[in-house]
Amino acid sequence: MRVLGIETSCDETSAAVLEGEGDDVSLKSLVILSQDVHSIFGGVVPEIASRAHLTAIVPVVEKALSDAGVTRIDAVAVTNAPGLVGALLVGVSFAKAYAFANKVPVIGVHHMEGHLFATALEHKDATPPFTALLVSGGHTLLLDVESWGTYRLLGKTRDDAAGEAFDKVAKLLGLPYPGGPHVERLAAATTNSGEFRFARPMVRRNQTVADPDFYDVSFSGLKTAVLTAVKQSNLEQTRGQIARAFQDSLIDTLVEKTTRAARQFGRGRVVLGGGVACNATLVAAMRERFEPRGVQVFAPSPRLATDNAAMIARAGLFHLERGERSELDLNAFASQPIPGLVAA
């Protein structure tokens, strides 16, 4: 089956062509147009994002089809939740019209399920069963993935997502948006965190799985700790150390929670996804923790970690192969639980 994937949930207009069956797929093309305009405002401006998608969607899809060297596809997969509704609607409306005109089925895809499939596009063994940590700008999800389509939601953030915490801390440190890569670079260039050490949120000794915060994370307190440190020091001298202390705390927390999940379910694989999975320090810390235990860690390359339509085509293919289809009344939703959830 040949699937056209479309992603417009935030500030990337993306289209991709994917061909294959089950886990045996090949990516024929991937086009990602990033809307850099938002960096002027220090965050994504929804109305600007929708308008930019509208201008870009036709040429982006045309380029994906021509890069793949195809004129016919068998189905269209499109992100329809969660995300900015106005932005999602551009992709959803285009996908429905394209599918109707070409007499092919359309399938709505949950953006985070897309992130879950991204790593498998590059790593043949990043397939279930595995423990998944999805860390993006809008979500932080810790899942046990028994098989594609069967997900146990173990933990999530109670406030800021991991990427959002990076972006907000970057702002406090006077770094550009999106902040993740800037904080990472600054932290990596700083030998140690000096006098700064921030508590690991929701990580305590003697916690048990019966505790409601055993798997959940929370980063708003960490952000406040950064704010206090910024106010009480001369930022020109401490910027690097604070970035380092923040990143150390956030990464330690994610590594600890992921370790608990992999241990409870006896998983031999950990799969990372979402924009924060671009963070090489996070990936290295996961490897350092898991590899001595014989657990493999898989992370997508930056192009597939951040928002892209290849992962949407891949998740869509899975649903299409199960015989699922969306109707032409497919709508966009700002929030929606990931499909396939089973009781934890």
With respect to ligand KG4, which residue has the nearer C-beta, 34 or 264?
A: 34
A 10 A CB-CB count for 71 gives 8
The distance of closest approach from Cβ of residue 200 to ligand KG4 in the complex, given in angstroms and rounded to an integer, is 17
For residue 181, state whether it binds ligand KG4 (rule: CB under 6 A). yes
Is the N-terminal amide bond of 178 cis, ω within 30° of 0? Answer: yes
Look at residue 179 and give the partner it binds from Zn ion, ligand KG4, none, a contact being a CB closer than 5 to 8 Å depending on partner kind: ligand KG4
User: Which of the 8 DSSP states describes residue 50?
Assistant: H
Q: Can you read off the two tokens belonging to residue 68?
A: 């793949």
Size of residue set near ligand KG4 by CB under 6 A: 20
SS (H, E, C) 72-100: CCCEEEEEEECCCHHHHHHHHHHHHHHHH
The distance of closest approach from Cβ of residue 272 to Zn ion in the complex, given in angstroms and rounded to an integer, is 13
CA-to-CA separations, 127 to 13, 116, 147, in angstroms, rounded: 27, 10, 8
Applying CB under 6 A, which of residues 279, 290, 317, 319 lies at the interface with ligand KG4? 279
For residue 306, state whether it binds ligand KG4 (rule: CB under 6 A). yes
Size of residue set near Zn ion by CB under 5 A: 2
Look at residue 173 and give the partner it binds from Zn ion, ligand KG4, none, a contact being a CB closer than 5 to 8 Å depending on partner kind: none
Pairing relationship of beta strands 296-298 and 150-156 according to DSSP bridges: unpaired
Residue span binding Zn ion (CB under 5 A) among the ranges 182-190, 247-255, 301-309, 315-323: 301-309
**Range 115-154, binding ligand KG4 (CB under 6 A):** 136-138
Q: Can you read off the two tokens belonging to residue 11?
A: 């500030």
Q: Can you read off the two tokens belonging to residue 42?
A: 């220090």
For residue 7, state whether it binds ligand KG4 (rule: CB under 6 A). no
The distance of closest approach from Cβ of residue 60 to ligand KG4 in the complex, given in angstroms and rounded to an integer, is 16
Q: Is the dihedral of CA 120, 115, 257, 254 positive or negative?
A: positive
Residue span binding ligand KG4 (CB under 6 A) among the ranges 116-124, 147-155, 159-167, 215-223: 159-167
Residue span binding ligand KG4 (CB under 6 A) among the ranges 52-60, 142-150, 176-184, 228-236: 176-184
Applying CB under 6 A, which of residues 167, 215, 311, 315 lies at the interface with ligand KG4? 167
d(CA 172, CA 83): 25
Element (H, E) at 31: strand 24-34
For residue 10, state whether it binds ligand KG4 (rule: CB under 6 A). yes
For residue 13, state whether it binds Zn ion (rule: CB under 5 A). no
Applying CB under 5 A, which of residues 11, 12, 167, 307 lies at the interface with Zn ion? 307
d(CA 313, CA 107): 9
Look at residue 248 and give the partner it binds from ligand KG4, Zn ion, none, a contact being a CB closer than 5 to 8 Å depending on partner kind: none
φ/ψ (deg, to 5) at 267: -85, 140
Strand ranges across the sheet with 24-34: 24-34, 12-21, 2-7, 75-81, 106-110
| Residues near ligand KG4 (CB under 6 A) | 10, 136-138, 163-164, 166-167, 178-181, 184, 274-276, 278-279, 306-307
